[in-house]
C-alpha cells in the first residue's frame, strides 16, 4: 500500500503516542526516503530558440520528472511545470519543451524525479541553465566539433577525462553545435592501451562499452558511458547542445549497402540503425518533428544574426559504393530529394545575417568506404573532375544558392578528426556555378586524431589552414593534445563572424573574420 507523506507522518505519530512498535514500523518509510531516485547522467538542454528550449534528464527507476523554471538562480517566482514520466520504455529518460520564455534571457531550471513506486520520495535536485536566443542584434557565441570516445580512447582519469569539454565551457558559449559521432557504438574499449612511448592509457570501462552495440539497451549504454565524464556533465548543465548524428552512432560507414563485420551477431543493418536512432533520440534534447518522428534534420533559429540548418547525411543516402553516376537518382542520394528541398526553402526564406549549414561530413575531403584499398565513397567527394554521384546534389544546391541570391552561407563540419579551413573558389573549381564560401572543420573532441585526407577539386577548395598528425602518426590519443574544436563569434552591431580553430589547451591555432553581405 502506498501512502502520501502526510499519511505516513500521521501513522508514525499515532504509533508513537500509543507506544506500539513506533521505531520498527517506521523503518520502511525511512529506508525508502534514504533510497531516493538518482539523476544518473546530469541534465542537458538543447535546440534553444527565442522563446524556449528542450530540457533532458535521466533517472535510475520509474519516476516522474519535475521541473521548475525561473529567470534567476534564486528561483524566486519559479514556474512549476506538469510532471512527465520517465519509464523503462525510454531507459528512464525524459525531456520537456520549455515554452513561453523571454528572448535573450538567462534561464535556470531545476530538475527532480519523483519515485513512482513511492510517490512521496524525490531525488535531490539538479540545476541547469541556458540562455534563450536573442530577439535583438546582440553578440552570439558558439562552439562546434564532433567525434567523442572513438578509436579506443575513453574516459581516462589519469589524463583528466574529457578535457576539451572543460576548455569549451570556459568560453561560456551560447550553445554547442555537435557535428555527429556523439558515440562510437562500434568501438569497444579495453581497460588499458599501451602507447608507443610505453605509457599506459587506462579507460574507465562498462559492460556496454566492452563490445559492439547491437541491442537497444547496448546502444543506450554506450550513450550513458559518455555522461559519466564530469567535464561533459558540467558542460551540459551550462551549455545547450544542437546535436546531429553521423555513422558511429550505428556502425562505421553505414549505408543501406553496409555489410556488417564478423563481430556482429545482428546482420540486419536497417534494424541496427533503427535501434541506434531510437537510443539517439532518447539521449539528447532534440525538438521532435511532428511531420516525421525521429527526424534529425531541422532549422534552429537563433535570433536576427543566425539560422542553423542541421543536416542528416545518413538516413536518406543511397548505398556507399563507386558513386560515379552522371545523372541524379536514388543511387546518388546523399541528403535525398525531400531534405534537399527543405534546405533550399529554408535558405531562401531566411532573413538572418548568417546561414550556417551544419554538415556531419565535409564536402571535398575524400573519405573512402574501403579505406585500406581506397575504394568506394563514404562522403560527398568522388575525386577530381566534374560532379558525379553524390556531388550532383551539392552542385545543384550551390547553383541554387547563387541564382536565388542567398548570401552569407558558412559550412561547419567534423568527421575526419583534424582541424582545417577551406575556402571554396569557383575560379579553381571544375564546377563553377556558385559563389565563394567557407567550410571549417573541427574535431575530434575526444577521440583518435587522424589525417590529413586528400581533397578533390570539383568545387575548388583551397586549404587556408590545416592541423593533422600526418602520415605514419595516426590515431593519436587525446593525451597527445591534438583535440580540436571551433569557436564562432558574431558581433551584434556589425554582424561580422569570427571563426577560430582551437585545441584542447585552448590555443588559438588559426582565425579569420568574415564580413557579411547585405541581406
- ∠ CA 503-471-373, nearest 5°, is 120
pLDDT of residue 290: 87
Question: Taking residues 152-181, what's their average pLDDT?
Answer: 98
* pLDDT band per the 50, 70, 90 thresholds, residue 70: very high
Q: Would you place residue 483 in the very low, low, confident or very high pLDDT band (cuts 50, 70, 90)?
A: very high
Beta bridge partners of 357: 309, 411
Tell which wins on pLDDT, 20 or 508: 508
Cell output for 179: 557535428
Q: pLDDT: is 21 or 417 the higher one?
A: 417
Distance separating alpha carbons of residues 362 and 475, to the nearest angstrom:
19
- Judged against a pLDDT cut of 90, whether residue 16 lies above it is answered with no
Per-residue pLDDT for 318 more than 90?
Answer: yes
What was the pLDDT predicted at 8?
A: 31
Mean pLDDT to the nearest integer, 86-95: 98
Query: pLDDT > 70: what percent of the chain?
Result: 93
Q: What is the pLDDT of residues 182-220, one digit of tens each?
A: 999 999 999 999 999 999 999 999 999 999 999 999 999
Question: What is the reported pLDDT for 34?
Answer: 67
Q: What is the mean pLDDT of residues 87-110?
A: 98
Q: Where are the beta strands (DSSP E) in 2-92?
A: 39-46, 53-59, 63-70, 79-80, 84-86
Q: Calculate mean pLDDT across residues 265-291.
A: 96
Q: What is the mean pLDDT of residues 110-130?
A: 97
> Which residues have C-beta within 8 Å of that of residue 31, sequence separation ≥ 6?
none
Residue 12 in this model has a pLDDT that exceeds 60: no
Q: Is the pLDDT of residue 58 over 80?
A: yes
Query: Cα(318)–Cα(336) distance, rounded to whole angstroms?
Result: 8
Q: Measure the CA–CA gap between 233 and 169, rounded to whole angstroms.
A: 11
Return mean pLDDT, the chain: 93
The whole-number average pLDDT for the span 3-25 is 31
Cα separations in angstroms, 209 against 102, 151, 271, 273, 276: 41, 12, 20, 18, 15
CA distance 25 to 250: 51
Could you read off the pLDDT of 381-434 as tens digits, one per residue? 999 999 999 999 999 999 999 999 999 999 999 999 999 999 999 999 999 999
Q: Give pTM, 2 decimals.
A: 0.93
Question: Band of the pLDDT at 67, cuts 50, 70, 90?
Answer: very high
pLDDT of residue 11: 31
Distances (CA, A) of 195 to 153, 202, 293, 443: 11, 10, 44, 21
Which pLDDT belongs to residue 112?
A: 98
Q: Is the pLDDT of residue 23 over 70?
A: no
At 226-267, the pLDDT tens digits run: 999 999 999 999 999 999 999 999 999 999 999 999 999 999
pLDDT of residue 25: 35
Q: What is the mean pLDDT of residues 507-519?
A: 97
CB atoms inside a 10 Å sphere around CB 366: 19
371 against 131, higher pLDDT: 131
DSSP 58-80: EESSSEEEEEEEESSTT-TTPEE
Amino acid at each position: 500500500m502506498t501512502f502520501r507523506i502526510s499519511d505516513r507522518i500521521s501513522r508514525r505519530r499515532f504509533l508513537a503516542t500509543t507506544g506500539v512498535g513506533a521505531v520498527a514500523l517506521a523503518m520502511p518509510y525511512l529506508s525508502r526516503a534514504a533510497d531516493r531516485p538518482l539523476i544518473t547522467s546530469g541534465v542537458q538542454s538543447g535546440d534553444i530558440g527565442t522563446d524556449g528550449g528542450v530540457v533532458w534528464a535521466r533517472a535510475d527507476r520509474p519516476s516522474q520528472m519535475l521541473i521548475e523554471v525561473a529567470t534567476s538562480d534564486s528561483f524566486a517566482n519559479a514556474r512549476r511545470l506538469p510532471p512527465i514520466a520517465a519509464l523503462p520504455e525510454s531507459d528512464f529518460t525524459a525531456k520537456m519543451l520549455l515554452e513561453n520564455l523571454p528572448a535573450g534571457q538567462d534561464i535556470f531550471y531545476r530538475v527532480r524525479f519523483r519515485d513512482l513506486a513511492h510517490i512521496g520520495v524525490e531525488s535531490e535536485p539538479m540545476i541547469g541553465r541556458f540562455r534563450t536566443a536573442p530577439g535583438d542584434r546582440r553578440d552570439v557565441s558558439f562552439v562546434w566539433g564532433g567525434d567523442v570516445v572513438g578509436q579506443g580512447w575513453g574516459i581516462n582519469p589519469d589524463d583528466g577525462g574529457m578535457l576539451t569539454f572543460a576548455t569549451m565551457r570556459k568560453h561560456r558559449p551560447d550553445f554547442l553545435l555537435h557535428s555527429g559521432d556523439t558515440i562510437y557504438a562500434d568501438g569497444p574499449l579495453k581497460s588499458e592501451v599501451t602507447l608507443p612511448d610505453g605509457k599506459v592509457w587506462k579507460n574507465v570501462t562498462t559492460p556496454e562499452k566492452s563490445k559492439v552495440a547491437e541491442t537497444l539497451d547496448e546502444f543506450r549504454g554506450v550513450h550513458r558511458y559518455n555522461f559519466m565524464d564530469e567535464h561533459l556533465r558540467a558542460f551540459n548543465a551550462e551549455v545547450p547542445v544542437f546535436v546531429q548524428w553521423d555513422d558511429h552512432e550505428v556502425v562505421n560507414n553505414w549505408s543501406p549497402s553496409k555489410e556488417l563485420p564478423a563481430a556482429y551477431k545482428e546482420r540486419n543493418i536497417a534494424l541496427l540503425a533503427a535501434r541506434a536512432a531510437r537510443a539517439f533520440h532518447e539521449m539528447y534534447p532534440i525538438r521532435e518533428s511532428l511531420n516525421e518522428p525521429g527526424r534529425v534534420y531541422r532549422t534552429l533559429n537563433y535570433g536576427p544574426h543566425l539560422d542553423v540548418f542541421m543536416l542528416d547525411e545518413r538516413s536518406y543516402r543511397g548505398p556507399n559504393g563507386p558513386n560515379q553516376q552522371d545523372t541524379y537518382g536514388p543511387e546518388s542520394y546523399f541528403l535525398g530529394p525531400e531534405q534537399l528541398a527543405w534546405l533550399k526553402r529554408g535558405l531562401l526564406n531566411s532573413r538572418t545575417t548568417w546561414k550556417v549549414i551544419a554538415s556531419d561530413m565535409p564536402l571535398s575531403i575524400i573519405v573512402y568506404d574501403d579505406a585500406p584499398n581506397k575504394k568506394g565513397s563514404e562522403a560527398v567527394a568522388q575525386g577530381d573532375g566534374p560532379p558525379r554521384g553524390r556531388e550532383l546534389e551539392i552542385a545543384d544546391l550551390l547553383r541554387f544558392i547563387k541564382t536565388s541570391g542567398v548570401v552569407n552561407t558558412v559550412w561547419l563540419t567534423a568527421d575526419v578528426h583534424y582541424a582545417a579551413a577551406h575556402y571554396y573558389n569557383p575560379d579553381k573549381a571544375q564546377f563553377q556555378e556558385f559563389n565563394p564560401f567557407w567550410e571549417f572543420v573541427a574535431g575530434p573532441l575526444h577521440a583518435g586524431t587522424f589525417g590529413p585526407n586528400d581533397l578533390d577539386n570539383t568545387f575548388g577548395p583551397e586549404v587556408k589552414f590545416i592541423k593533422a598528425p600526418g602520415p605514419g602518426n595516426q590515431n593519436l590519443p587525446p593525451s597527445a593534445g591534438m583535440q580540436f574544436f571551433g569557436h564562432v563569434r558574431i558581433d551584434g552591431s556589425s554582424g561580422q563572424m569570427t571563426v577560430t580553430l582551437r585545441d584542447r589547451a585552448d590555443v588559438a591555432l588559426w582565425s579569420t573574420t568574415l564580413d557579411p553581405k547585405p541581406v
